[in-house]
Structure 1
Amino acid sequence: MRKLIVAILTILITTASFAQTGKGKATLTILNEQKSPVEGATVELLRSNDSALVKTAISDKTGLVEFENINTSSYLVRVTAIGLAKSYSNLFQVKEGETTTVPAMSMAISNATQMQGVTVSAKKPFIQRLNDRLIVNVENSVVNVGSSAFDALERSPGVTIDQNDNIALRGKQGVIIMIDGKPSPMSGADLINYLRGLPVNAIERIELITNPSSKYEAAGNSGIIDIRMKKDQRLGYNGTLTAGYGQGVYPKWNAGTTLNYRNKGVNVFGNYNYAYRENL
């Protein structure tokens, strides 16, 4: 009888644990001072307890932003847009199986825009929106320091990764992963392990191609994720050594090395990375 009671309690505790890790959805609308929708605003979903970046998104032509398949927790959002002042929302809670509608955010014109002078900056924005793709300039994001390529993808707009490590772009699976414009020869667990071991500071940018052109043929109809690696422009041999460590429920760490050779006619680039992590 005692064993039966223990077994029942174990099942109940396990069920409660799964319930606490459920998923939900959050939506909000970005407006300007004239209450017109703001298209192309960068919206960052932040955990309320430590302001850690969880996900990024881009507002559509109606100003709408959606965060799908996010863990139940307390969040806030940070919004930036060209010519408008940075804005923060109030805290809100995402509940399992529910859609949380965050009150519309109104963005004011930034003080820099109101100035008569013109300031020119060469720094690229964290997210750039082109006709057929989004570009995530990971090297310009402080939050990506010490992270892996896998972590950067999880935070990227339109990218979702399920519990089985299946990568989808705008809800479509079968995404083609490319490295420097060429399809990766790896797939499945090998690809995921490579992405987890690849330090983000070895990456220049991630291109999320949602509308592939004809040059990509039919293979990329579900979308293409092209990871562009950093390449040293100096002549001769050079390389880097990287290491990162993170602590959650369990520790995780990664290490890697890159080697580059360049002369006036040839450039050869290679890298090797290793990652260790424990799962629940």
Structure 2
Amino acid sequence: MLDHIPGIKYTNSSNFFLMAGPCAIEGEDIVLRIAERIVEITDKLQIPLIFKGSYRKANRSRIDSFTGIGDEKALKILAKVSREFGVPTVTDIHESVEAAMAACYVDVLQIPAFLCRQTDLLIAAAKTGKTVNIKKGQFLSAASMGFAVDKVKDSGNSNVILTDRGNTFGYQDLIVDFRGIPEMQSFGVPVVMDCTHSLQQPNQVTGVTGGKPALIETIAKAAIAVGADGLFIETHPEPEYAKSDGANMLHLNVLEPLLEKLIRIRQAVI
């Protein structure tokens, strides 16, 4: 399923795969510490891993919010994670001109949910030859994502992943429609459930996005039970001090026991 991504281990595993890491690349030491722990866990459990981290946060509520440590500096840290731990990496891109730059450092290019209809961005990502992970827009049905898949495939790249991150439910909440997982799988691509961003509470009056991290396990269990191919989980050793999305990240200490539960569910449904 992910054989085309360099560095993927356990391709014959019956497990789901995991896209996990901090929301943003905050610095080399913290990122390498997080990566080391996630790799240790996923190696033990034989879960294929793609390490994630945003080299720049372009979509922020307030102008004074953290956006990054510098594009090249952050991308080099992601490349170091790949070299040191032997795992592929994924990061977001926001404009067409970023695709070729990011592709020099990572294995998977991610299209943010708000940008999933941006044709030029999808084409630019496709033309790098890298796997393209498209987040489903909160404002779109699962069926609508077939057009995003077509844009990448029609540009000569068949390596596409779709990630659900919930649907807008009023002004400050999201809800997950699990019917979307099999519907998007019908396009012939792996489908991932974003267990952290689907629990965001955006547009808070403070300008800082809220979240419901206590429900990450609930979303993850349901997604695996429905048959999701992979999970997307942002995690941090100290979410309360994270520079981005701390309100809905999973504490790194609880990642292993959660994954152990999810493996048992996976084994029960396959």
Q: TM-score, normalised by structure 2?
A: 0.27
Which of structures 1 and 2 has the larger relative contact order (alpha carbons within 8 angstroms, sep 6+)? 2
